[in-house]
Structure 1
Amino acid sequence: MELTQVTVNDLLAQLGPGDGWMYLPSELDPQELTDLLGGRYGAPRTLVLDGFTDPTVDESRGAALLVPFEDRAVTMRAWAYGDQWVGTGTARDAEGIERPVLVVARREVPEPLAVAPDEDVDWMQRLIRITGWTQPAQRPDVDWAEAESRLGTALPSDYKRMVETFGVGAFDGFLGLNQEPWTGLREDGLLIWAGTEHEDLYCWRADGDDPDRWPVVVRSFDGEDLLFDCQAAAFVCRILVDPHHPYTMARYFDTHWFMNYRESG
């Protein structure tokens, strides 16, 4: 079997939208399949390695992928993608032969909670809930003092938590999170913290001494600016789930995730 993204599409189509699994030909390279899926869904989480299951694996971390194989899984890598878990690795078949496998399972995604007008919201926790994020912090040791010294300004605390938590990647594989704000629009009083494939730039208007009070400004590809009086994490939450937001992503995706571009355990 020659592995390509087209082959992967066909295999996933055979499994269907619900729970499904299959053993693959023994000559297939499991790492090649992992790499192809990683190119599509981002960095995976390791559920099983050398026959040992990560003790933290539960329903929120892809445990459903292991059910068909009972205790026969040898390796398993998993991705959270929308309302589905996708996994691949190797497992022993009925004859005890280790073979590559591909498995999908339904993923329960928590509904985002409504926000009362006077509610004090931790938007980063809300963002973790909306995306179903289960990985450990990706960049917990960022030297923000050095970065802020280089930029000549302090940075919003929720943005720093986003980078520390999610690391390098994109929300819904579309909204790319900058690991350090760009200063290309500094003459306009803007620092760029994210961007999209459509060339929209998500910025702060760096007014005042308190970065946590900086508003978000979206500069579109045609140079128009639109201001939102909220923090970056709140802005991301709203565009993910509010279908009426001018920059909504809710019309394209029913559930949301963060595509991590770096390998993690």
Structure 2
Amino acid sequence: MWVQRIGKLVGRVDSSFHVDRSEIEARLQVSLPDDYFALATRFGEGAFCRFIFVHDGRADSGDGLLAMWHHLSATVGRGDAGGGGVLSPYLMFEPGEAGLIPWGGTELGDIYFWYATPGVDPSSWPVIAKASDGLDDTLENGMARFEVSASEFLWHVLADPEFTPFGIANSVGDIWFTSQPEIDSSDRV
């Protein structure tokens, strides 16, 4: 339902992009939420308002979910849940262990995660959003937890004027989606 609402919001009715669901889930050793794959299949690689992105679902993509998970795991390690680390009070996901898996973010550095728990229905995983430095000092370590799916969270970011500090509805006029090939060609001016 939320993926369709986002499609209607941005005027993208039907698209079908390749996703490597079985390979991604095999490498992570966990099933991911269906709505993520619905987003990745519908929109592919690109950005909403050239600002907000969902990591694409290709296993070999440099901008894909696996690449971002590997990058963050290498950058911050598993983390230190109680020690005030960059992801505190959370840890990065490791196969077999609960933790954060990044699925999207913004050009300013906000990061959208699931709090993934192996053995728990992935459709019930909450979204954890980490604000970029200085965005909102009312959040604990810049992080907020939302008991919604990735697609519902994304819809609120795009369309809900009261969704602070992560929403953009008050900052932009029309909401649109640009595929990566369109972004690449417009950047080559």
TM-score calculated relative to the size of structure 2: 0.68
Q: Which has the higher strand share?
A: 1
Residue of 102, 127, 132 corresponding to 1:216 = 127
Q: Return the offset for 1:134.
A: 3.8
1:244 aligns with 2:162: yes
Partner residue, 2:28? 151
RMSD: 1.7
d(CA) in 1 for partners of 2:129, 2:20: 27
* Structure 2: gaps of 5 or more residues: 57-63, 79-90, 92-98, 134-140, 183-189
Paired-residue identity, %:
34
d(CA) in 2 for partners of 1:197, 1:232: 18
1:225 aligns with 2:136: no
Bigger relative contact order (CA 8 A; separation at least 6): 2
State the structure with more CA Rg.
1
Instruction: Tell me the secondary structure at the aligned position of residue 195 of structure 1.
Output: strand
* Structure 1: gaps of 5 or more residues: 1-121
Partner residue, 2:87? none
Partner residue, 2:176? 257
Residue of 189, 197, 211 corresponding to 2:107 = 197
**Displaced runs of 4 or more, over 3 A:** none
d(CA) in 2 for partners of 1:198, 1:136: 27
Read off the aligned partner of 2:113 and give its amino acid letter: C
TM-score calculated relative to the size of structure 1: 0.50
Q: Return the offset for 1:224.
A: 2.2
Instruction: Tell me the secondary structure at the aligned position of residue 204 of structure 1.
Output: strand
Total equivalences in the alignment: 140
d(CA) in 1 for partners of 2:132, 2:20: 32
Q: Tell me the alpha carbon deviations over residues 50-84 of structure 1, each in whole angstroms, 9 at most, x when there is no partner.
A: xxxxxxxxxxxxxxxxxxxxxxxxxxxxxxxxxxx
d(CA) in 1 for partners of 2:45, 2:4: 18
Instruction: Tell me the secondary structure at the aligned position of residue 262 of structure 1.
Output: helix
